[in-house]
Amino acid sequence: MEHNGSDRVSDKVRDLASQVGERAGSAREQASEAARRTAAKVGDQMKTAAERVRQTGPRVEAVVHSTAETIADRLDRGGAYFRERQYEQLIDKATRYIRQNPVTSLIVGVVGGLLLARKVRR
């Protein structure tokens, strides 16, 4: 009978092991299915983000291009202003000074010429 009792215990242990194995398999399948769903959801979200980037890219590129073009235009205008206006103003100021101070202008011209000649000799 002891043999019969130990058989029952062995059967119970096998049944328990089988149930644990089934539950572990079920849990593994559930975890695997949850991982697949999560991966699919993340994949879909990444695809959506990629589509948005593709749709937004040309607009962003256009804005960046437009902004760069605006900056370049303003720099061109600013450079032209300084080249033209400053030059014109400098000539006007020099002409006015020479007319108002002819003797001083002559002295400055002669001294400047002498210094320049001296510098060129060296």
Evaluate whether 97 touches 105 at the Cβ level (below 8 Å).
yes
Write out the H or E segment, with its range, that includes residue 81: helix 2-100
What's the confidence (pLDDT) of residue 45?
A: 80
* Count of C-beta atoms within a 10 Å radius of residue 117: 9
53 vs 99, residue with greater confidence: 99
Evaluate whether 25 touches 33 at the Cβ level (below 8 Å).
no
pLDDT > 70: what percent of the chain?
82
Q: What is the pLDDT of residues 56-99, one digit of tens each?
A: 777 777 777 788 888 888 888 777 766 666 666 777 888 888 88
Q: Structurally, how many domains does the chain consist of?
A: 1
Q: Which residues have C-beta within 8 Å of that of residue 98, sequence separation ≥ 6?
A: 105
